[in-house]
């Protein structure tokens, strides 16, 4: 279940621009104050180093398509991007290979199963189903370099830097910890190869995917990355076009369908925004044409989504009128 807020939340309909600057600033700080003491959730420990994260950390950022920025709390604390990277690497692969190729190789449908499920791959004759689960993300990363792990790493490293407006560093400790406990992803890579869905050395390509997930970001970074998709693929701070408008649309469509794993349908029903989460505690949610919310807090629910981040984004979606499916202005 999506965490519920016992306090009433003011609601605005989604049509129209963001509220005025001062109002957005006020709402971001209100969201932080509401939820910074919320204690629900458990820090991920299946990747050993993540289990040492401070459960009290909480950063919240809204970045609009003009480059305006509202930040509070631990917005500059570094954490590993983890599965949030899947959304942006998928966009880069779409830019390289196009809509039809990605739909054929990776798919766009929700599996309804956990993000690292082997069963989902086997039940669908080796088709990963979507790029927001691990099997689909490994296949997507491989496509960036046409099966060449060195080319894939170079493309994703440069592409994610363009989304973030800065070079992202590798968290070596997180990478090493993940690489030492990576048996399930290595198995997924071999299954993808067996089904003809992965070209190249599967172990080497899984290693690239593992490094991808260990890149260090902040809530500020993921908010700007999301705002780049909200702005039709143009980074609103650097002015650089990272991907096309069509690619931004397609990437956000898949995030809406599958970005919150088996909770994606419930998230879209309750919150109404494309979003992508990561097990280090980050979530980015995008309001096309308006901006994005980047949130970070390590304690997770049973699906691997940050509890505080979900609560804060839900509040901001309602209070700022971000829900894609609301169609009138009060």
Which residue intervals of the chain bear CATH 3.40.710.10? 21-82+215-320, 85-213
What's the predicted TM-score (pTM) here? 0.91
Residue 38 pLDDT greater than 90, yes or no: yes
Q: How do strand 275-277 and strand 216-217 relate by DSSP bridges? A: unpaired
Contact (CB, 8 A) for 313 and 77: no
Mean pLDDT, residues 318-325 taken together: 92
Q: What 3-state class would DSSP assign to 36?
A: coil
Q: Identify the pLDDT of residue 105.
A: 79
Fold annotation for 85-213: Beta-lactamase (3.40.710)
State the fold for domain 21-82+215-320.
Beta-lactamase (3.40.710)
Provide φ and ψ at 170, rounded to 5°: -85, 130
Question: Residue range 302-315: average pLDDT?
Answer: 94
Q: What are 224-262's pLDDT values in tens digits?
A: 999 999 999 999 999 999 999 999 999 999 999 888 988
For tokens 């190729």, the residue is 101
| Cα–Cα distance list, 266 to 136, 162, 269 (Å) | 21, 31, 5
Mean pLDDT over 145-163 rounds to 97
């Amino acid at each position: 279940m999506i965490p519920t807020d016992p306090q009433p939340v003011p609601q605005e309909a989604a049509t129209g621009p963001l509220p005025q600057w001062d109002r957005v600033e006020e709402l971001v700080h209100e969201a932080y104050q509401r939820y910074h003491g919320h204690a629900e959730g458990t820090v991920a420990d299946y990747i050993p180093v993540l289990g040492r994260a401070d459960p009290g950390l909480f950063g919240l950022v809204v970045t609009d398509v003009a480059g305006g920025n509202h930040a509070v709390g631990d917005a500059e604390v570094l954490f590993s991007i983890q599965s949030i990277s899947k959304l942006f690497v998928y966009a880069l692969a779409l830019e390289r290979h196009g809509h039809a190729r990605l739909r054929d190789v990776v798919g766009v449908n929700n599996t309804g199963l956990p993000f690292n499920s082997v069963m989902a791959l086997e039940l669908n004759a080796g088709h990963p189903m979507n790029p927001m689960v691990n099997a689909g993300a490994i296949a997507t990363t491989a496509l960036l370099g046409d099966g060449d792990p060195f080319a894939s790493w170079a493309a994703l490293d440069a592409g994610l830097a363009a989304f973030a407006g800065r070079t992202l560093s590798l968290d070596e400790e997180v990478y090493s910890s993940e690489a030492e406990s990576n048996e399930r992803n290595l198995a997924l890579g071999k299954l993808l190869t067996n089904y003809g869905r992965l070209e190249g050395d599967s172990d080497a390509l899984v290693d690239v995917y593992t490094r991808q997930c260990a890149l260090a970001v902040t809530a500020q970074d993921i908010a700007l990355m999301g705002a780049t998709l909200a702005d039709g693929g143009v980074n609103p701070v650097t002015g650089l076009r990272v991907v096309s408008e069509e690619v931004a649309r397609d990437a956000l469509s898949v995030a809406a369908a599958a970005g919150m794993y088996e909770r994606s349908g419930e998230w879209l029903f309750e919150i109404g925004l494309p979003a992508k989460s990561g097990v280090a505690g980050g979530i980015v949610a995008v309001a096309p044409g308006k901006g994005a919310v980047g949130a970070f807090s390590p304690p997770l629910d049973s699906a691997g989504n940050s509890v505080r981040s979900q609560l804060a984004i839900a509040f901001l979606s309602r209070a700022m009128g971000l829900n894609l499916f609301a169609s009138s202005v009060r």
